Amino acid sequence: MRMTSKHALIAATALATTIGIGGSASAEGEWWPVKVYDASSGENVEVEYSPVEKAAAPHNICVLFPHMKDSFWVAVAYGIVEEAERQNVNMTLFEAGGYENLPRQISQFDDCMAGGYDAIVIGAISEAGLALKFEEAIAAGIPVISTVNPVADAETTAKMFVEFDVMGEQTGSYLVEHLAGAEANVVNFPGPAGSGWAELFNDGFKRAIEGVDNVTLLDEKFGDSGVSVQLQLIQDALQAYPEMNVIWGTAPTAEAGIAAVAEVGREGEIMIMSSYENQAMLDALNRGDILGFATQYPVLEGRVAIDMAVRALEGAPLMTFVKPIPDMIAAGTVDQIDMSQVLAPADWTPVYSVTAE
């Protein structure tokens, strides 16, 4: 198995990250400190992140998500809500309904600016599509905190996102190791083109299988990360590539893939792997329906985003670029991961607003 220096770094820190996240809380309900990379300087520096004790005022924070179609974004929302309640700030969350709805998210951003909100937290549908809006808000004195989705060049007050190519590389390397030399014919379903994260996941996966003689990449099919869209893409691929025996892609891809493979009676013949996490992936892993998935700790990303907003508003010390340290979750590692930083509780119902006491 070929391992790049970046992948080696993640592998070396994975266990330490897991221990840091799973065992460092000093009191019930405390989620900190957690190990992250502070990339504010342009270099990844491993540090322990802790939030402020409590906001000094009941700030009004506007939160914008691409959608709430799956439990990944529900997990981020859970982190947002939990930290807003803990810090006693007001929070209102809007979702655009899908990655195809950039104009709606732009309109929602305008509403946040006009609505008297003190800060905006956003999972951006498109960096290019929102860059000018970010500049407008910051120029107006409204901090912009970008979370989850990558923002490489657009101006932000602070941002937090994982190195998605590392997550893609983790899953690709795990696949190569799992195959143990067996032949694999793969079709990739990275997610929505133009989102940034989909391309990065895909690049990392391809880096992991580059030069591996027993792995062939047949095709790459981009599309919205809703289950229905992914199901159609997979059904088309099953017809176009009867030799396909690996489905790799988003969590909704894997969810749709399980159903599609069952429909054609090829369970046990086609391996399925997700590039990231949601509740369906954990359930599928426990059932043995997928090989595994990578995690960027989305609950943590939501919590840190709110803390970043509070810090920006109150002039507290602020890391302007934080990266979660991802981990690979598979049958042999799932028991080592603190899932409270990965997924919302199964019985949690999404909340779209928090009112400070």
24 or 125: which leads in pLDDT: 125
- Whether residue 88 is found in the same domain as residue 146: yes
- Total domains in the chain come to 2
Same domain assignment for residues 287 and 318? no
- Cα–Cα distance measured from residue 321 to residue 146, given in angstroms and rounded to the nearest whole number: 9
Give the pLDDT mean for 327-336: 92
User: Model confidence over 162-184: pLDDT tens digits?
Assistant: 999 999 999 999 999 999 999 99
pLDDT of 2 strictly over 60: no
Instruction: Clarify whether residues 171 and 280 are in a common domain.
Output: yes
Lowest mean per-residue pLDDT among 10-14, 27-31, 242-246, 330-334: 10-14
Look at residue 5 in the predicted model and tell me its pLDDT. Answer: 34
Q: What is the pLDDT of residue 301?
A: 98
Judgement on whether residues 303 and 209 belong to the same structural domain of the protein: no
For residue 141, the domain's CATH number is: 3.40.50.2300
Give a yes or no: residue 227 inside a domain.
yes
**CB neighbours of 221 closer than 8 A, spacing ≥ 6?**
187, 188, 189, 233, 236, 237
Residue 13 pLDDT grade (very low, low, confident, very high; cuts 50, 70, 90)? very low
Phi, psi for 48 (deg, rounded to 5): -105, 130
Give pTM, 2 decimals: 0.84
Clarify whether residues 96 and 131 are in a common domain.
Answer: yes
The percent of residues in the chain predicted with pLDDT above 90, rounded, is: 86
Within a domain: 337 = no
Sorting pLDDT into bands at 50, 70 and 90, what band is 195?
confident
Task: Note whether residue 100 is domain-resident.
Answer: yes
Region 254-278: mean pLDDT is: 96
20 and 127 inside one domain = yes
Q: Is 63 contained in some domain? A: yes
In order, the DSSP letters of 96-148 are -SSTT-HHHHHHHHHHHHHTT-SEEEE--S-HHHHHHHHHHHHHTT--EEEES
d(CA 56, CA 87): 9
Same domain, 16 and 136: yes
Q: What is the extent of the structural domain holding 70?
A: 5-162+296-327+342-354
* Statement to judge: residues 219 and 177 lie in one domain: yes
CA distances from 106 to 136, 193, 352 (A): 12, 18, 19
Residue 336 is assigned to a structural domain of this protein: no
Domain assignment present for 332: no
Q: Give me the mean pLDDT over the 225-252 stretch.
A: 96
* Residue 334 located in a structural domain: no
98 and 214 co-located in one domain: no
- Residue 192 CB partners (closer than 8 Å, separation 6+): 99, 100, 198, 222, 223, 224, 225
Print burial letters for 60-82: b (CB count within 10 Å at least 16), e (below 16).
bbbbbbbbbbbbbbbbbbbbbbb
Average pLDDT, the chain: 92
Confidence band (pLDDT; 50, 70, 90) for 24? very low
Q: How confident is the model at residue 18 (pLDDT cuts 50, 70, 90)?
A: very low
* Residues 40 and 119 both lie in one domain: yes
**Do 92 and 177 belong to one domain?**
no
**Residue 239 lies inside a defined structural domain of this protein:** yes
Do both 257 and 312 map to the same domain?
Answer: no
What span, in angstroms and rounded, lies between the C-alpha atoms of 60 and 345? 26
